[in-house]
Amino acid sequence: MMSQPEPFLPPPTTSRSPPLRFGLLCHLAQLPGSLTQDELPCTPGSLSGSLLRPQGLTEDEDVQAMLRGSRLCKIRSRTWQKERLYRLQEDGLSVWFQRKIPRALSQHIFFVQHIEAVREGHQSEGLRRFGGAFAPARCLTIAFKGRRKNLDLVAPTAEEAQQWVRGLAKLRTRLDAMSQRERLDHWIHCYLHRADSNQDSKMSFKEIKSLLRMVNVDMNDMYAYRLFKECDHSNNERLEGTEIEEFLRRLLKRPELEEIFHRYSGEDRVLSAPELLEFLEDQGEDGATLARAQQLIQNYELNETAKQHELMTLDGFMMYLLSPDGAALDPAHTCVFQDMDQPLAHYFISSSHNTYLTDSQIGGPSSTEAYVRAFAQGCRCVELDCWEGPGGEPVIYHGHTLTSKILFRDVIQAVRDHAFTLSPYPVILSLENHCGLEQQAAMAHHLRTILGDMLVTQALDSPNPEELPSPERLKGRVLVKGKKLPAARSEDGRILSDREEEEEEEEEEGAEAAEQRRRAKQISPELSALVVYCCATRLRTLRPVPVPPQPCQVSSLSERKAKKFIREAGNSFIRHNAHQLTRVYPLGLRMTSANYSPQEMWNSGCQLVALNFQTPGYEMDLNAGRFLINGQCGYVLKPACLRQPDTHFDPECPGPPKTTLTIQVLTAQQLPKLNAEKPNSIVDPLVRVEIHGVPADCARKETNYVLNNGFNPRWGQTLQFQLRAPELVLVRFVVEDYDTTSPNDFVGQFTLPLNSLKQGYRHIHLLSKDGASLSPATLFVHIRIQSS
């Protein structure tokens, strides 16, 4: 159903809060070290909002050099090395680059907020392979979030390379420090600057209409012109100076926030600390005290006079609700807050399948950069498919396919250099070993010499040898998962594979390939010695009667075999996973590297639920949501019902509903345009809330769609869910562009555990398919969680 859009620009209202100034005016003037109001950007006569000016970055020599631009050589291969002009845009948020064939503007820029890291020297696979002719001091690599390939560059001089390295670091630091409100103001002024077609710092009605289309709203011409004339106090059919500020102030009004604010502030239109405390208590905030309310006023109020009198204005209230303290994700859960001293088997562990691939498993390229990206996403278990290589050097690739090959030793070097950049907790190397004895010995040599003391080569002293060590005890260490002598021998004396379903794969292969597998099922003593806590074993059946725990044994199951255990063994599988690690991987038939839903495996306590990290989709959204908490360290403590050795929990029979989740979807703000090259393309957004948990809890409900308004659509619809196992639930908020004739288009999403979802009025900060921020795009919702 379509929701009829309401007029989204209300008439002016009187308020005791100070007038809102834009282009970073309203808040930067109050920040320590900021410029005075007269020096701030976007005053009358300037429409361009810039990240640079408020912090004095326009005077910075490195940033000035970037604004002038540099001719940098882009390296793709030994033969593809092209010189291109790269120049920082005036907004300070994007870099324009030259192309041989001109394309749409969006194909000529990249954004600072999408940069994952900037590396100096030959610190990428591309520059190590193809940049040998250039001095390391002249080289840099820009690594991006998501699937975008690295940008390997060579500057004319070492100093020019350093200017870009230092300049990008300063811009990223400044961007990270910006509040959501600052990002919103900057965002609107960037569009304002683009809409000012003749750059005269004045806005005609035609330019105003262009601005509205750019920010994703289609407004009735009569209504838009009425608003335009109400702001045109000079009556000259142009808005300038304070008239533009008034227009923007009204454009960005949040009537729903004003209504909430006035409900608590009363007639004086300011919140005292006790009134703010009342709001916090109604929100269900943990630790809501008068001191906490006073602290929030000091943190978020923009008006110094109000702050001195412990009062919060509407602007301060909006700053608070747009901050991490006002977000749906509990800020206390963004750092490591769980007990990290329990055995490894008590944690969900972020795990990757075919980690070396950057695309499909049939003909896609293999790359050490895929490991770097996985670690940057918090992954703690990576896979290495090891095969015989030339010159006695084992290689990694997807065997018997057209995927490219990379050296085993290069991957181990990437592990050494990048495994602990984001998380200090242990990394597991899951070896899929197809090498003969000689190259297995070479693998063991590389593991020992490259990783050194990082590598666990013998069991730690433990008061309880029947339990795996904890993530805390294994901080900074690397574990090898693989085959072990002599315990892994079968009755006929051969070494068992570390994959349960390998015989199924053999049936799909030719005789020669199957024979190569059989030859490789020997194991060298050197490699066996490095398998300490993760001995690969085959899990054929699950016994209902408890057997002596064997914590160091790890089973690898295909998704099909894992689902069979879940369906037929239920509680026995959960008890097995309470003391032993289980790794689940996608079926080999998923040729495009598609993923399965990890939730079903988590419901049964499987720790190492391996996904194709290179393939975006709802499955990876769930994985990112599961590991969003606990400092994104890659380890999340399983619920108690999945850790107890004598648990009776069965995800197929979770019992009666225990929790009611009620979500009122109120509004959205500044949703991205899906087709920036088509000015008249406006989204028709709807919101879907998905529950992922035990089968009885899984559900999805959605709002109506709002026609032609991606700027500030309003729904006011309530969605309710009954939950039987809330401790396992992930909540996924999805925004889509409704289409009557084809599947809806994805706009943005955010996923988090129910136990980390805060109650009350909350903003949800949306992410792209690749997990990048879509700031300033948000959903505004009210959340209520009731336990029965």
| Residues annotated as catalytic (active site), given as ranges | 353, 398
Question: How many separate helices (H) and strands (E) can be counted in the chain?
Answer: 23, 31
CA distance 602 to 638: 9
Range 674-678, long-range pairs (CB < 8 A, 24+ positions): 674/737, 674/745, 674/747, 676/104, 676/105, 676/106, 677/104, 677/105, 677/106
CA distance 533 to 539: 17
- Write out the DSSP string of 642-695: GT-TT----TTS--S--EEEEEEEEEEE-PPPS-TT-TT----EEEEEEEESST
User: What single-letter DSSP state applies at residue 497?
Assistant: P
CA distance 254 to 358: 42
738, with CB counted inside 10 A (0-12, 13-18, 19+), is middle
Distance set, CA 65 to CA 86, 89, 170 (Å) = 11, 12, 13
* Per-residue exposure over 418-431, b if at least 16 CB sit within 10 Å of its own CB, e if not: bbbebbbbbbbbbb
CA distance 527 to 394: 13
- Write out the DSSP string of 61-78: HHHHHHHH-EEEEEESSS
- Spatial neighbors of 624 by CB under 8 A, at least 6 apart, are 377, 751, 771
**Residue 394 identity:** P
Q: What is the dihedral of CA 521, 525, 527, 528, to 10 degrees?
A: 80
Nearest to 683 by CA among 215, 111, 28: 215
Cis peptide before 486 (omega within 30 of 0): yes
User: What single-letter DSSP state applies at residue 31?
Assistant: S
CA distance 85 to 724: 58
Bridge partners of residue 97, in order along the sequence:
86
The three-state secondary structure class of 531 is coil
8 A C-beta contact, residue 576 and residue 582: yes
- Measured in whole angstroms, how far is the alpha carbon of residue 61 from the centre of its chain? 33
